[in-house]
Each structure stands twice: as C-alpha cells, then as structure tokens.
Amino acid sequence: MQQKILLIGGPGTGKTSVLDELTKRKYFCMPEVSRAVTLKAQKQGIAQLFLTQPLLFSEMLLESRTEQYLTADKNKTKIVFFDRGIPDIHAYMEYYKTKYPTTFIEKSKEYQYDKVFHFSPWKDIHVTDNERYESFEETTKIDVFLLKTYLELGYSIVNVPFGTIEERTNFIVNSLSYLV
C-alpha cells in the first residue's frame, strides 16, 4: 500500500529544500505547484494572482494538487512525498479571510494523506522573493492557520526539528523507516 507523506508549514520554512534532498535520495516527490501558478499569471501580466484574485488562484491550485494526488496514485512506489497538500489551500483562504465554496473542504476530506510533517517558522532561513512575498511575521500567522486546518481534519502532525537540510531529511526518513 502506498503511503502519501505531506510536508506542511508556512512560506520559507524549508519544505522545498528538504523535498529537493528527498528527490536526490531517489524518493518520488510532488513539488509545490503554487509557484508555477503564480509564474503563469505573471506571464499574463498579473503580478500576484493570489492577492488580486484569491479564489481563482485557489481553484487553480486545487486542480493542480488534485492532479498531483491522482498522479501519485498511479505511481507504484511505496512512498510519495508532497510539498504542501490540498488542505493548505483553504487554510490560506481562512488566513486571508476569503470566502470559498465547500468544495475545498470536501476535496481535503476525499484526498487524505497518511502522515504529515510540519516545518515551523524559522527566522534564520526565511527569505522573500518574487513569488514568496510573505514576511516572517506573516509566515508565523499563516502557520497557525495551517496547523488549525490540519488538526480540524483529524491529522496527527509530526514537527520537524530545526537543523541542516540533511538532518531534517534524515529525521523524516528515519520516522518512516518502517515503511521502507
């Protein structure tokens, strides 16, 4: 049986760096798709789609993350890692006080993950760029909404300790050693 392992946390907490390391170690990984959605909108002249049309952005994310989940289902590997999950979408909309249809919560309940690893806000590694514009203070607030959303959906959350990329990756892999 395939195990779907999810990495969650606010922007700039190290999820993608760890996912990149997992990929180097030959694990099957599903990257974050929000950057791709943001870059696509920027090519169409919309600087920050999430800020100008949050529901449209979120619908595009929901479609992309659902596709990722279904693609993972077709893969025959024992473990699949995801950089963010479907529930992240409505957690962000809650943070930004955006009204959204129940479809987002329904999809979060339909497409479940087996284990969730949480990356806490970490000021020492937090940076902003053209697609990641949230300040460290905003990241900290978003993190509260992410945790609340996943807990409300019944997930148990494992906190990843601070450390090097290798140490954080080892922590996750060692936590899953019974699956390998």
* Adjacent-strand bridge partners of 79: 3
Q: Which of 104, 139, 146, 145 is nearest to 125 (CA)?
A: 139
Cβ(71)–Cβ(30) under 8 Å?
Answer: yes
pLDDT digits (tens, 9 = 90+) for 61-103: 899 999 999 999 998 899 999 999 999 999 999 998 989 999 9
Paired tokens of 113? 């993950």
Residue type, 15: K
Residue type, 169: T
pLDDT of the residue at 131: 55
Between residues 52 and 64, the one the model is more confident about? 64
**Residue 178: is its pLDDT beyond 70?**
no
pLDDT digits (tens, 9 = 90+) for 127-163: 766 556 677 788 899 999 999 999 999 999 999 999 9
Distance of CA 27 to the CA centre of its chain: 17
Produce one character per residue of 3-28: b if its CB has 16 or more CB atoms within 10 Å, e if not.
Answer: bbbbbbbbbbbbbbbbbebbeeeebb
Q: Which residue has the tokens 């000021």?
A: 123
Cβ(91)–Cβ(149) under 8 Å?
Answer: yes
pLDDT of the residue at 108: 97
Regarding pTM above 0.95, the answer is: no
Residue type, 177: S
Averaged pLDDT of the chain: 89
pLDDT of the residue at 44: 76
Most confident region among 36-40, 42-46, 72-76, 131-135 by mean pLDDT = 72-76
Domains and CATH numbers, the chain: 3-175 (3.40.50.300)
pLDDT of the residue at 78: 92
Report the distance separating Cα 150 and Cα 178, nearest Å: 24
